[in-house]
């Protein structure tokens, strides 16, 4: 054998060995990856058990990018360090959401046992849901916050409705004036609504002689003692009208009708979430939860009467009752939900500081104000609006930065964020904003809006878990945040998956437009059948 043949044979043998080694390594790697993927898939298919959630550190999911000295920041990009810091403040990861949901379930159970709990869990005395075959026309007055409506709801007996309504705005003077003036305003709006009916002529004499039955949607916490009696426990949503707290809301409205010489009988007092649930159940019978996500927030759901241990009345054979959770006060003790310094500033600036703190994290009345405090802080530290942030007097005005601005900003996908510029420069009077300023502003809106959606989802996950309805139910949701705020509903659904796993596919989140007024009319019409 020649030296060349030997060298060639040796090289060939080495190459074959190297190839076999590479194939073996690849085989081991592929098997390992398959095992890992199978393990991950098995884990993902299981919902997170709310009873076994461990306390987790939110910092674990914070972006790991930390700018170094060699990283060059584009003049059109926000400072990465600012973004990372804010992301850490406002991010609520999946483990934390599950912990929050678990804590809410525990608080719900406390509220069902005693009135001294943070979650009031108020029995509504509504013990049945409509079947969808009810008929007739009925009145409702729907007070949800800044806006309220007078409605005439006609039920067609096939799950459908026709609504005639008038919308009105409650001014700050009325919100913060006397209770008599506020309720007189409601009565006058009902009067003008009845007199303006194009289908049938109604006179002042008719208002005095004919009887009209009305359902009253009153979206504030009341101690409800019967279907048409409830005592106001406290104002929120910017209301502070005098001589109302501790009074029966039905009596306050009934007295106003008497002063207007109107023969209107308030046959049902309904919370807006209860109205939303009942209204949506008329067209979707598998609805067991009603949620409001708008100016304020709240939730109602169907509970087994045997679990409402504080309810001492005879349910007259009924097995279920709708519970008004008043979840706006959830975690007022601040033991489970992470809060930022901006959240605390917003809370201190309200008339009901240290209460309804959950509402102040997720409802439309407060999101813009949280954002404004962040922007003011960044102006002071020189991280945003360097050219003109200090020149804007509007930015320093409480509630000047509206949640509607956040919605508009998140909806802007233009290259130069021209609509963001319009909001900042024309509405907030901040001159000379840069593209980096506008991108940072949009990122802040996204962080605050996303947190609100995820916390809302945690609340719904808790309720569905408490009802043991993970196998399927519909949640009717009314309010501008769910309907109009960009990505809000999808962010909620994503969070539901993180908390409940595949069971989230069984929970249908549906828009329930104008449900609270229709629900009040339904309950007023069917008080004898739906109530205890």
Query: For the residues 42-46, what does the mean pLDDT come to?
Result: 43
Q: What is the pLDDT of residue 332?
A: 97
Is 60 exceeded by the pLDDT of residue 327? yes
Q: Catalytic: which of 95, 184, 248, 272?
A: 272
Cα angle for residues 472, 474, 478 (degrees, 5° grid) = 155
Q: What is the pLDDT of residue 515?
A: 77
Is 60 exceeded by the pLDDT of residue 52? no
List the single range of 133-147, 184-198, 479-493 with lowest mean pLDDT. Answer: 133-147
The highest-confidence range among 188-202, 231-245, 427-441, by mean pLDDT, is 427-441
Is 90 exceeded by the pLDDT of residue 157? no
Q: Is 50 helix (H, G, I), strand (E, B) or coil?
A: helix
Q: What is the pLDDT of residue 530?
A: 61
Q: Is 388 helix (H, G, I), strand (E, B) or coil?
A: coil
**124 vs 290: CA distance, rounded Å:** 13
13-27: per-residue pLDDT in tens?
544 444 544 545 444
**DSSP one-letter code for 427:** I
Mean pLDDT score across all residues of the chain: 86
Beta strand 264-270 with 320-324 is: unpaired
> Going by C-beta distance under 8 Å and a sequence separation of 6 or more, which residues neighbour residue 385?
375, 378, 379, 392, 424, 430, 433, 437
235 vs 206: which has the higher pLDDT:
235
217 vs 257: which has the higher pLDDT:
257
Structure-token match 């200090």, residue found: 390
Is 90 exceeded by the pLDDT of residue 355? yes
Query: For the residues 218-239, what does the mean pLDDT come to?
Result: 88
> Going by C-beta distance under 8 Å and a sequence separation of 6 or more, which residues neighbour residue 304?
319, 320
Q: Is 15 helix (H, G, I), strand (E, B) or coil?
A: helix
State both tokens at 147.
């806006």
Residue 335 banded pLDDT, cuts 50, 70, 90: very high
55-73: per-residue pLDDT in tens?
333 333 333 344 444 456 6
DSSP alpha helix (H) spans, 337-434? 341-348, 359-362, 364-380, 403-410, 418-421
> Is residue 193 within 8 Å of 202, Cβ to Cβ?
no
Is 60 exceeded by the pLDDT of residue 48? no
Beta strand 287-293 with 297-304 is: antiparallel
16 vs 115: which has the higher pLDDT:
115
Query: For the residues 273-283, what does the mean pLDDT come to?
Result: 90
212 vs 446: which has the higher pLDDT:
446
Scored b (16 or more CB within 10 A) or e, 383-415 reads bbbeebbeebeebeeeebbbbbbbbbbbebeee
458-490: per-residue pLDDT in tens?
999 999 999 999 999 999 999 999 999 999 999
> Is residue 377 within 8 Å of 395, Cβ to Cβ?
no
**308 vs 111: CA distance, rounded Å:** 9
CATH topology of domain 126-270: Nucleotidyltransferase; domain 5 (3.30.420)
> Going by C-beta distance under 8 Å and a sequence separation of 6 or more, which residues neighbour residue 448?
90, 367, 370, 371, 374, 406
Is 60 exceeded by the pLDDT of residue 499? yes
219 is catalytic: yes
> Is residue 268 within 8 Å of 116, Cβ to Cβ?
no
CA separation, residue 164 to residues 199, 417, 476 (Å): 11, 40, 21
Radius of gyration of the chain (CA): 28
State both tokens at 311.
């309810």
Q: What is the pLDDT of residue 531?
A: 63
Percent residues over pLDDT 90 in the chain: 60
511-531: per-residue pLDDT in tens?
997 777 788 888 877 766 666
Q: Is 93 left (phi over 0), alpha (psi -120 to 50) or beta?
A: beta
Is it true that domain 80-113+330-511 has CATH number 3.40.367.20? yes
Q: What is the pLDDT of residue 13?
A: 52
Query: For the residues 445-469, what does the mean pLDDT come to?
Result: 98
Is 70 exceeded by the pLDDT of residue 449? yes
Is 80 exceeded by the pLDDT of residue 3? no
Query: For the residues 360-374, what does the mean pLDDT come to?
Result: 97
pTM of this prediction?
A: 0.79
**176 vs 235: CA distance, rounded Å:** 10
**179 vs 141: CA distance, rounded Å:** 17
Query: For the residues 345-362, what does the mean pLDDT come to?
Result: 95
152 vs 442: which has the higher pLDDT:
442
Cα angle for residues 510, 514, 517 (degrees, 5° grid) = 125
> In the chain, what are the domain boundaries?
80-113+330-511, 126-270
The highest-confidence range among 30-34, 86-90, 129-133, by mean pLDDT, is 86-90
> Is residue 232 within 8 Å of 246, Cβ to Cβ?
yes
Is 50 exceeded by the pLDDT of residue 379? yes
**DSSP one-letter code for 117:** S
Is 60 exceeded by the pLDDT of residue 45? no
Q: Catalytic: which of 98, 219, 363, 489?
A: 219
Q: Catalytic: which of 98, 128, 142, 149?
A: 149
Cα angle for residues 110, 113, 118 (degrees, 5° grid) = 40
133 vs 362: which has the higher pLDDT:
362
> Going by C-beta distance under 8 Å and a sequence separation of 6 or more, which residues neighbour residue 379?
385, 389, 390, 395
């Amino acid at each position: 054998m020649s030296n060349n043949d030997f060298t060639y044979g040796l090289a060939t043998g080495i190459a074959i060995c190297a190839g076999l080694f590479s194939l073996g390594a690849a085989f081991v790697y592929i098997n390992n990856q398959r095992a890992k993927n199978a393990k991950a898939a098995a884990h993902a298919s299981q919902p997170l058990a709310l009873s076994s959630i461990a306390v987790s550190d939110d910092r674990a999911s914070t972006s790991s990018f930390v700018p170094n000295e060699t990283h060059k920041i584009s003049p059109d990009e926000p400072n990465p360090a600012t973004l990372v810091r804010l992301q850490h403040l406002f991010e609520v990861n999946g483990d934390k959401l599950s912990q929050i949901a678990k804590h809410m379930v525990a608080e719900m159970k406390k509220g069902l046992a005693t009135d001294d709990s943070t979650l009031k869990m108020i029995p509504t005395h509504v013990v049945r849901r409509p079947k969808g075959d009810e008929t007739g026309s009925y009145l409702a007055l729907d007070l949800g916050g800044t806006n309220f409506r007078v409605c005439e709801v006609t039920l067609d007996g096939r799950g459908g409705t026709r609504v005639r309504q008038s919308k009105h705005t409650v001014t700050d003077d009325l919100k913060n004036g006397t209770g008599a003036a506020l309720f007189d305003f409601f009565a006058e709006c009902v009067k003008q609504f009845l007199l303006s009916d194009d289908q049938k002529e109604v006179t002042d004499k008719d208002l005095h002689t004919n009887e009209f039955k009305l359902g009253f949607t009153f979206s504030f916490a009341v101690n409800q003692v019967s279907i048409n009696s409830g005592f106001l426990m406290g104002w929120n949503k910017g209301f502070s009208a005098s001589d109302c707290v501790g009074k029966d809301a039905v009596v306050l409205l009934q007295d106003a009708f008497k002063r207007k010489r109107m023969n209107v009988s308030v046959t049902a007092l309904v919370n807006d979430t209860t109205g939303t649930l009942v209204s949506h159940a008329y067209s979707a019978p598998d609805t067991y939860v009603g949620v409001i996500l708008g100016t304020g927030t709240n939730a109602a759901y169907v509970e087994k009467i045997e679990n409402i241990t504080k309810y001492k009345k005879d349910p007259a054979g009924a097995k279920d009752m709708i519970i008004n959770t008043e979840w706006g006060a959830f975690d007022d003790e601040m033991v489970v939900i992470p809060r930022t310094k901006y959240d605390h500033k917003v809370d201190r600036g309200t008339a009901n500081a240290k209460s309804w703190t959950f509402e102040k994290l997720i409802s439309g009345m407060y999101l813009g104000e949280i954002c404004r405090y962040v922007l003011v802080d960044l102006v002071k530290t020189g991280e945003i609006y360097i050219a003109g942030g200090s020149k804007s007097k509007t930015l320093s005005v409480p509630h000047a930065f509206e949640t509607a601005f956040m919605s508009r900003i998140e909806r802007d996908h233009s290259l130069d964020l021209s609509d963001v510029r319009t909001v900042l420069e024309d509405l907030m009077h901040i001159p000379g904003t840069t593209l980096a300023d506008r991108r940072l502003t949009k990122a802040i809106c996204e962080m605050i809006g996303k947190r609100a959606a995820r916390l809302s989802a945690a609340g719904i996950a808790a309720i569905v878990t408490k009802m043991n309805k993970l196998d399927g139910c519909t949640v009717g949701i009314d309010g501008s945040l769910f309907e109009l705020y960009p990505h809000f509903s999808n962010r909620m659904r994503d969070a539901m998956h993180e908390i409940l796993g595949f069971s989230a596919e069984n929970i249908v989140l549906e828009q329930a437009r104008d449900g609270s007024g229709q629900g009040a009319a339904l309950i007023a019409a069917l008080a004898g059948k739906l109530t205890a």
